[in-house]
Structure 1
Amino acid sequence: MNYINTANSTALWLSCIPVVVIVAFQAIIFSKKAMNSADLVDLNKQDAKKAFTVGALSAIGPALGVFVVMLGLMSVIGAPLSWMRLAIIGAAPTELAAANMSAKAMNIELTSPEFGLIHFANAAWVMALNGSAWLFTTGLFSHKLDGVTDKISGGDPKKLGILMVSAMCGAFSYLFGKELIKGLDPKTRPFMVSGIAAAVAMIILDKVAKKYPKLTEYNLGIAMVVGMAAGVIFKRL
């Protein structure tokens, strides 16, 4: 049986829906508590409702970027797991990278026709463990993080920011480099074209976003669409 049938099975839907419901329930609780706490910061109910409205509208941009990534994940790991992962994490690039790394660990490509049920299960475990590590670290070591970060950065928050960004750049550069190497093989060259097109689009969008800051939240989604379109066009040519 094709693994995608399992990935989109009723059993997985029933397993993922409760998690999403819990997230929605938490969002409602936090929203009510925030609204009830408005008086503590001298914010009247009308201004609080206006702030919530502005926040909801500003969330549309990031949500669209996540939605585009979710479409890509759905084609590989199915709709239930993609929906659940991005509902509780929301870091679309991180989830995509985790799924990709799980495939790399088994010497296969995420989009390979040979990607099967075992690879799907491995991707599910890697994404779950990745998210669990965040929760584990937050729950046990949050009260000690200030001391650790001070030692690492020497009390300079800019230095800590540079270290964090450097780590992320290294991880994603490794993944992007793998796509560039595929250009050596004519059969996989569209992957290289797609990656380069998305990178160029992101550079351009980043410059445009400096003039139009609201565009920033849409950059990831737009760049991915440009990359996918470039790959498809190149393959058909």
Structure 2
Amino acid sequence: MALGNQLSPTQTLVTFCLWAQRNGYSVGEMHGFSAVHPVHTHGSWHFDSDGGFGKAADINKNGPDEREQLIAAVDRAQELGLGVIFARDGVAGVAGHHKNHLHVDVGPFSHLGQSSFTPRGGGDVLTEALQRAVRGSADQVWGADTDLRAEAVKAASNLMGVTFPHGIEFTQRVVGVADDGVWGNQSRAAHDQTTAAIQRALGRAPTGIWDQAMVNAYSHARSLRNRAV
């Protein structure tokens, strides 16, 4: 029914919409979040659903800084590879009908006011890479297990004081060594290798060291993707 091929998993759009709600945006015209009204173009992603969730949403943020907030939401949606339509850079084409709300979907079309382009698609590849780094299930959904594992690696860093909120054995399993309860040289080396893999997932140089810049990059990614909040 939809216009074109689906480029992103529906769950990636759900991740974005949950972020939007946490940050005070309203999520409309999307199954699983709100009613969908018969006002959209025939074949619109708004009418499609997958696992109880829609494949398109309209995002609003009322207030004096509405435009700035919607531009920020555009950036986060594009970070996830989703399709976006909003009059950010002009009012040409379909973007001219999206001056006061952002359209986000899983399809192959984006327009920000000058010309159309194809979104990256592919889903939340950053989360998938991070999940592989921490030896979790690579399902592209940053849920409770993913968060527990990533936070355990961060907590065991020198910057965070080498702590083990869920036990040394758990952190050892996350970094891929025998869970003997002794945080020795082998565990520390595996921790640094796991940190380097997380850094690669975040697009950073794989130094294996948690410094403040690394924490900031990780926190930025986590704030968008984490569903365990």
> Same fold by TM (over 0.5)?
no
Which one has the bigger helix percentage? 1
TM-score, length-scaled by structure 2: 0.26
TM-score, length-scaled by structure 1: 0.25
Which one has the bigger strand percentage? 2
Q: Which of structures 1 and 2 has the larger relative contact order (alpha carbons within 8 angstroms, sep 6+)?
A: 1
